[in-house]
Amino acid sequence: MAKVVVLGAGISGHTAVSYLSKALSKNHEVVMVSPNSNFQWIPSNIWVGVGLMTPEQVKFKLAPVYKKMGVNYKQAMALSIHPEGDAENEKGFVTIKYVAGADEGTEEKVTYDYLINGTGPKLNFEATEGLGPNKFTQSVCTYEHATHAWETLQASLKKMENGEKQTFLIGTGHPLATCQGAAFEYVLNVAFEIKKRNLMHLADLWWISNEYELGDFGMGGAYVKRNGYITPTKIFTESILKEYGVKWIKRAGVQKVEKGKVFYEDLEGKFHTKEFDFAMLIPGFAGAGMKAYNKKDEDISSELFVANGMMKVDADYTPKPYEEWRAEDWPSTYQSAKYENIYAAGIAFAPPHGMSKPMESPNGTKIFPTPPRTGMPSGVIGKIVAQNIIHIIKTGKKEHLHKASMARMGAACIVSAGYGIFNGQAAVMTVNPIVSDWEKYPEWGRNINDTVGIVGTAGHWIKLFMHYLFLYKAKAKPFWYLIPE
């Protein structure tokens, strides 16, 4: 009997454990280790952050779902990985610490035959002084954060209703932050809600980003087909912001936040401040902070992880100039670079390099987006990692039949731009591949026939439909596996 342990019940980890349990739970053991008691559909936190959905609409309890799946669920934090075991254990194991229940606070060694690291990102608010919902800015990265953002936003809306002008600052809160798409959705929804209340004359709306040009979104931008024309995402993004009455600050690396004031450096090395009444800024991401030890109990964290705590996988991490980056550098199986029975899925894996051109100010500050790996790519990666482990366990053949390089897969992104059955809006953008391949597609970097952008009410209907569809899938309802990632 084989034992597969999955760390993290986010989109990637939960997807992996769902497929593993379906294929293996009768004859093998599948274990989920996650400190969270709830699964949350993160894309819909945007709507929680403007009061159009409640937290209950974007989350559900994990324990009943895992019981139905036959998964051994441990509500615990993973502390360290011991791939070679120790004097007591021949097998590799993970040290975990329970965070709830009768065992809260106790530690346990969980052995495994195969391990999937799907821990996702640490929301690294402390990397920017004064950043975060416990300090001076808001976040929509979790449903708790989004709930707090809505409470704070309501206070600003109330002041506007009383005739007081308010300044809104939304975007990235670290020079290397990713997830521009989530912040972009949020600024459009805030603008939509202000306009709906006929308060735009009292709103000063600002987008602040570390992108060199708007529409970079951490993937180096793109060219999209729109209304029969080829349009760079720079124009696509700027036109939407203008339509919604949002001004912008680009090439900005936020350094510090104080009450009502952001301090940032631009790519020219100049320092600026921007005052605000309400701010929602996405933090930088880091790895979950796990350590790794060999059989002699020596720290080998640097052999499993890169400096920010993300896991090294089957990618080419050779330092090389931007001009030498290739699509082939990106991983396809997400197997650990050192241990063949360990994998990383979703945000937990370390990209070999960025997708956007690295930029640096004269002061040495790196200001550019790091690669996005959320949503659809995370789900696809979680699935193929599970499928490969299933194949190895069932056949005994150590081969990877399933691959999912971000330089070979496409993705669809639906950016909410306002909620409403009849007047809701969304920008729908598809890219193929996610990572530009200028050798295969020398003119546009991607297959221009599969890379499109449109804005309209239909996109909102699709996003709303996907909210319910993917929650249905995540709850392992009948025939869930027929729904694509």
The DSSP code for 360 is B
pLDDT digits (tens, 9 = 90+) for 59-80: 999 999 999 999 999 999 999 9
Q: Does 226 score more than 80 pLDDT?
A: no
CA 277 vs. chain centroid, Å, equals: 27
pLDDT digits (tens, 9 = 90+) for 371-430: 988 888 999 999 999 999 999 999 999 999 999 999 999 988 888 988 887 888 888 889
pLDDT at 480: 97
pLDDT digits (tens, 9 = 90+) for 25-34: 889 999 999 9
pLDDT at 424: 86
pLDDT at 423: 85
| CB < 8 Å & 24+ apart, contacts of 122-126 | 122/285, 122/286, 122/287, 122/288, 122/289, 122/309, 123/283, 123/285, 124/174, 124/283, 124/284, 124/285, 124/286, 125/173, 125/283
pTM exceeding 0.75? yes
Domain ranges in the chain? 3-123+287-395
pLDDT at 26: 87
- Cβ neighbors of 120 (< 8 A, separation 6 or more) are 8, 10, 12, 13, 288, 346, 347, 348
Q: What is the mean pLDDT of residues 201-230?
A: 93
pLDDT at 422: 80
The DSSP code for 483 is S
Alpha-carbon distance 387 to 16, whole Å?
A: 8
Q: Does 288 score more than 90 pLDDT?
A: yes
Which neighbouring-strand residues pair with 301? Answer: none
Please report how many Cα atoms fall inside a 13 Å half-sphere around the Cα of residue 427, on the Cβ side: 25
Pick the CATH number of 3-123+287-395 from 3.40.50.300, 3.50.50.100, 3.40.50.2000, 3.40.50.80: 3.50.50.100
Q: Does 175 score more than 90 pLDDT?
A: yes
Q: What is the mean pLDDT of the chain?
A: 95
pLDDT digits (tens, 9 = 90+) for 246-279: 999 999 999 999 999 999 999 999 999 999 999 9
pLDDT at 201: 98
Q: Does 228 score more than 90 pLDDT?
A: no
Cα→Cα distances 29→111, 210, 477, Å: 11, 44, 21
Tally Cβ neighbours within 10 Å of residue 431.
Answer: 25
Portion of the chain with pLDDT greater than 70, in percent: 100
Q: For the residues of 263-287, what is the DSSP string, one character each?
A: EEEETTS-EEEEE-SEEEEEPEEE-
Q: Does 217 score more than 90 pLDDT?
A: yes
Q: Does 227 score more than 80 pLDDT?
A: no
